[in-house]
């Protein structure tokens, strides 16, 4: 097979930033994807429906002329979030989910949740109204090893939360462990998980072995090879609970290559080429459509995109640029470590 046509894919976890950075990076996602769940961890964060409406307007204004890309907005859950605001924003179609950041878990998460009792009324209202909760699934206790934080979160935070608030629809975002995959598989119809492009390609050796590679540093951090292989198996399995959420997160090189570098990997420009290569290598190219185009809309109760894209396998590798140039500085594009031959056909 050297040609594959699928419904236009969606990205169910995306960082677009704001201002000049937004204008520079949104074009890469809009070129291939029909919709994306937009992360709300700006500075200041997108907390209220008024914030979400304003941010959505800025995204739409930054899109190329004629683009039909749809940003699916989220609200940043805080201990002062008002349940009625969330329910009204969801009912109007303004937001598609609410995002839970444990305070201090990742970039711009300081406004996140410390006391889960304080957000119970919001979560109960979300459960009653079918509003999904997108979860950054890590504890932030400094006594917990960074490679164990997802597994501990499942046991100590997420499972008790789901037991207490029945019917809450949860997306365990950027799952990175066998523990997370197993939890989702056993969790019923109310839970799903996104898998990133980069976690399908890198393990922790790609960050640390032979020298520190800051452009492979992300949160949750990549784990052992056994976990990467489990993620590949899940993504290519055609199981409806798993779908693409790139967590594409642009940071300028100066912020990555510093004494305290930012977490995040920019994968928007080459994700579809990376995934086609990986699925082909696993003998599962026929499963790519489910992972990128069908499972996510099914969980979010949205239609599959009517428009299609076509991937063409070239005879020679694609020459992606190393950087995305922005007014704030260059942003390094993810290197998956292998030549890529599958290219999204452009009209």
Active-site positions read 247
Pairing of strands 242-244, 308-313: unpaired
Cβ-Cβ contacts under 8 Å for 311 (sequence gap 6 or more): 3, 4, 5, 6, 272, 273, 276, 342, 343, 344, 345
- Is residue 93 exposed (0-12), middle (13-18) or buried (19+ Cβ within 10 Å)? exposed
Cα–Cα dist 73/67, whole Å: 17
What is the per-residue burial (b if ≥16 Cβ within 10 Å, else e) of 24-44? bbbbbbbbbbbbbbbbbbbee
Complete edge-to-edge strand list for the sheet that includes strand 10-14: 10-14, 35-38, 70-76, 95-100, 133-136, 170-173, 191-195, 242-244
- Element (DSSP H or E) covering residue 28: helix 19-30
Cis omega (within 30 of 0) on the bond before 338?
no
Per-residue tokens: 64: 């190329």
Beta strands in the chain (DSSP E): 3-7, 10-14, 35-38, 70-76, 95-100, 133-136, 170-173, 191-195, 242-244, 308-313, 323-326, 329-332, 342-344
């Amino acid at each position: 097979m050297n040609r594959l046509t699928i419904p236009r894919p969606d990205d169910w976890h995306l960082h677009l930033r704001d201002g000049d950075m937004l204008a520079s990076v949104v074009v890469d996602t809009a070129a291939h994807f029909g919709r994306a769940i937009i992360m709300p961890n700006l500075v200041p964060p997108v907390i209220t429906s008024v914030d979400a409406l304003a941010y959505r307007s800025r995204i739409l204004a930054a899109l190329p002329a004629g683009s039909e890309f749809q940003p699916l907005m989220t609200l940043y859950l805080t201990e002062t979030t008002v349940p009625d605001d969330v329910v009204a924003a969801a009912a109007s179609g303004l937001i598609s989910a609410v995002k839970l950041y444990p305070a201090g878990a990742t970039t711009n998460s300081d406004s996140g949740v410390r006391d889960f009792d304080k957000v119970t009324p919001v979560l109960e209202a979300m459960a009653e109204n079918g509003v999904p909760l997108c979860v950054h699934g890590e504890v932030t206790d400094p006594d917990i090893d960074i490679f164990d934080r997802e597994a501990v979160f499942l046991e100590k935070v997420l499972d008790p939360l789901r037991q207490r608030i029945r019917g809450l629809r949860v997306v365990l975002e950027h799952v990175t462990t066998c523990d997370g995959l197993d939890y989702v598989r056993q969790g019923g119809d109310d839970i799903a998980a996104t898998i990133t492009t980069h976690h399908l390609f890198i393990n922790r050796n790609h960050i640390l072995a032979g020298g520190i590679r800051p452009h492979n540093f992300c949160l949750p951090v990549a784990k052992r090879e056994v976990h990467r292989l489990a993620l590949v198996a899940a993504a290519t399995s055609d199981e409806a609970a798993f779908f693409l959420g790139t967590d594409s997160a642009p940071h300028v090189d100066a912020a990555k290559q510093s004494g305290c570098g930012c977490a995040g990997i920019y994968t928007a420009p080459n994700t579809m080429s990376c995934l086609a290569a990986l699925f082909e290598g696993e003998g599962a190219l026929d499963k790519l459509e489910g992972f990128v185009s069908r499972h996510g809309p099914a969980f979010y109760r949205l239609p599959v995109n009517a428009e299609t894209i076509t991937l063409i396998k070239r005879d020679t590798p694609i020459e992606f640029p190393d950087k995305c140039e922005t007014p704030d500085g260059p942003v390094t594009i993810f290197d998956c470590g292998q030549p890529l031959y599958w290219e999204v056909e452009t009209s």
